[in-house]
Amino acid sequence: MGKPLFYEILEKPATSCFIGICSVIWFYIQKKNIGYSHVGLSYETALEGHYWRIITSAFSHISVLHLVFNMSSLWSLGVVEQLGNIGLGLEFYLHYTLVLVVLSGVLVLGSYHVLIQKFKLEYFRRVTAVGYSCVVFGWMTILSVKQPSSKLELFGLLSLPISFAPFESLIFTSIIVPQASFVGHLSGIIVGYSIAWGLIHGMNNYWAITMLSWMLIIFVLSLKRSGTFNFRFLDIESVTDPSLPCVRFLSTTGHGRSLQMSNLAVVAGADLV
């Protein structure tokens, strides 16, 4: 008999939080009737400065099937939080989730750029990626290297050996969800191997907080500059007061300069009377 759900949630606090966030965002998207084109990541929107979509695309799901598949896989992968004895654990999970979200999104855009510019595949200019799949595939890959004896449970019905799970899931999702981003999933796998093999390493609390801070700054600034959301408190108003006197050069002739001083004539006149 398995553990009560409450105790499993306590053993996987970060995983439970991410599942909650994705579920709430999905509910909001459904309630507000928001399309994937409004929150997803594409090459065209990136060129327009919508860098905030790297974050929103990762945590947004349009299809309930996509949400259930990703969250079911993520719940199974939450075992990473309990593997501190092999160098994983809660801090590792939080630190490298940040890395997976950002680097997977950047790698997706880089892949689109190569496909468009090098191979002239204009189709990828408008392809929109959405969903937590990049992160899920990344953790699947990390766990397959660090704990190859583990199993990946899907929907509570299907159990896959974790050592083959990344590529099995890649094929599986491409079949049952044809609209799923193959490039996005593959990007998650590549970043996952880079982390598992130590090519990307050295994350600690300092670097995680620094990275999160920059993410928030870029998120807010790109939202404002792209015109998606107007943060009025970021507007800098002119402090020039037209009632104050101003001094400016009118022209330069020879070695002399004419100097106009507006609004000082009254004061000068008063001195001359």
The catalytic residues are 133, 185
**d(C-alpha 167, C-alpha 149), whole Å:** 16
Tokens representing 11 are: 């053993």
Closest to 154 measured CA to CA, from 174, 180, 136: 136
Residues whose CB is less than 8 angstroms from the CB of residue 110 and which lie 6 or more positions away in sequence, other chains included: none
**DSSP-derived secondary structure letter, 2:** P
Per DSSP, what are the bridge partners of residue 252?
A: 257
**Sequence-ordered alpha helix ranges (H) in the chain:** 5-11, 13-32, 36-39, 43-47, 53-59, 64-77, 89-117, 133-146, 165-176, 182-196, 205-225, 265-272
Angle in degrees, 0-180, between the axes of helices 182-196 and 165-176, rounded to the nearest 10 = 170
Residue 218: exposure state from Cβ atoms within 10 A (0-12, 13-18, ≥19):
middle
